């Protein structure tokens, strides 16, 4: 059931309506998507509410949640400040969303500009992505990165803990998303559900306890 839930909304990520009734149209679209590059970079758009409710949920066991959704706010300070925002998600055929951000959204850092970046990510980076973040921050002293995560990924693994510590020492701020942060993502990055006025964010039952659980785990690592 969970896997289905994940598969099903993938049509909507191109901003096309999701015609669940037309099973046929859906199959064709699926085929067509294979010809697209393995990365769907969606910028300046909002993610479907169904993705958010499933992927960002800060549960302890993230069964079926094997995609990374990354919402970003990128503030570039030069003569003028420019802020851009959007979201990325990863497809398994290619790099993870964290890599895609550096390859696509911010392929090069101009040394005369300052970059303040905030990511709201469904779960913390894997070891490879954490290492890439550490390298990028060491190379670009004009880059500030804050990562707000819903869940900690494989935090019990010593290798993972070491990678997160390196990221922290390279200047990356890693924070667990509080209920207010989930609400911020809901308001700024999630599409209003069809046929309804913008609905208020409805926190799930264990949102606060799960936040505290992950916050304690992160404190133990650091």
Q: What's the pLDDT band for 170 if we cut at 50, 70, 90?
A: very high
In the chain, which ranges are continuous DSSP H helix?
2-7, 23-35, 49-55, 97-100, 127-139, 158-169, 179-189, 207-221
- Mean pLDDT taken over the chain: 78
Whose tokens are 């913008």? That residue is 198
pLDDT tier for residue 121 given thresholds of 50, 70 and 90: very high
What domains, with CATH codes, occur in the chain?
Answer: 44-192+201-221 (3.40.140.10)
pLDDT at 18: 41
Mean pLDDT, rounded, for 162-178: 97
Q: Active site includes 135?
A: no
pTM score = 0.76
Sheet of 143-151, strands arranged across:
41-43, 81-89, 69-77, 114-123, 143-151, 173-176
Contact 177, 58 (CB under 8 A): yes
Pair 172, 121: CB distance under 8 Å: no
Catalytic residue among 8, 98, 157, 194: 98
User: Rounded to whole angstroms, how far apart are CA atoms 174 and 31?
Assistant: 38
């Amino acid at each position: 059931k969970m896997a289905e839930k994940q598969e099903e909304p993938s049509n909507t990520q191109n901003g096309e309506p999701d015609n669940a009734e037309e099973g046929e149209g859906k199959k064709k679209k699926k085929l067509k998507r294979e010809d697209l590059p393995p990365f769907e970079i969606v910028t300046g758009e909002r993610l479907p509410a169904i993705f958010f409710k499933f992927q960002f949920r800060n549960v302890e066991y993230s069964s079926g949640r094997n995609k990374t959704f990354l919402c970003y706010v990128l503030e570039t300070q030069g003569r003028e400040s420019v802020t851009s925002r959007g979201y990325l998600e990863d497809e398994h055929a290619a790099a993870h969303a964290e890599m895609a951000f550096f390859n696509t959204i911010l392929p090069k850092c101009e040394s005369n500009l300052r970059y303040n970046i905030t990511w709201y990510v469904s779960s913390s980076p894997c070891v490879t992505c954490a290492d890439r973040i550490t390298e990028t921050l060491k190379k670009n002293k004009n880059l500030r990165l804050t990562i707000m995560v819903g869940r900690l990924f494989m935090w019990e693994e010593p290798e993972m803990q070491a990678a997160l510590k390196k990221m922290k020492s390279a200047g990356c701020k890693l924070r667990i998303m509080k209920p207010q942060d989930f609400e911020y993502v809901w308001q700024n990055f999630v599409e209003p559900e069809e046929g309804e006025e913008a609905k208020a964010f409805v926190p799930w039952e264990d949102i606060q306890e799960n936040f505290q659980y992950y916050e304690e785990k992160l404190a133990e690592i650091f």
